[in-house]
Amino acid sequence: MRVHLQGIALLATVMLLLLGVARWAAPVLQEALGPEGAIQSTSSPDPPIGSPDAIADLPLTPDEVVQLQTILESINYDVGDIDGIIGPNTRAEIKQVELDLRMPAGTSNRKLLERLIVLTTN
């Protein structure tokens, strides 16, 4: 009988602790949950298809990668082989040219290529 009472006391203590945690977390959960009870997304919508922002996020074609590598080589960045593949050397030089041009880290390769074309043709 004593073991049962200890078990009931332990169970009651755990339930009170859980109730306290639930009350403490309730404001955070209410803020995160929408009117339907689902967590609300706060991400921005995708840009419309065909818009300049959507096009800027498209990956480069192999021919465009060759163009990017060729421009980088012509302005003294060592991309390794000009092969249309963005390998470790090309990635490292892309990061360096982003720094040198004061572009945000992770700028799309397409935007970088467009900027380099403008800089090298003027």
Residue 43 lies in a domain: no
In a shared domain, residues 64 and 92: yes
Give me the chain's average pLDDT, please.
82
**Residues 78, 89 contacting (CB under 8 angstroms):** yes
Residue 81 lies in a domain: yes
Q: What residue numbers bound the domain in which 104 lies?
A: 52-121
The pLDDT value recorded for residue 40 is 56
pTM (predicted TM-score): 0.57
In a shared domain, residues 33 and 56: no
**Residues 86, 109 contacting (CB under 8 angstroms):** yes
Give the separation between CA 39 and CA 59, rounded to whole angstroms. 31
Q: How many domains does the chain have?
A: 2
In a shared domain, residues 81 and 107: yes
**For 53-96, what is each residue's pLDDT tens digit?**
666 677 899 999 999 999 999 999 999 999 999 999 999 999 99
Average confidence (pLDDT) over 91-111? 91
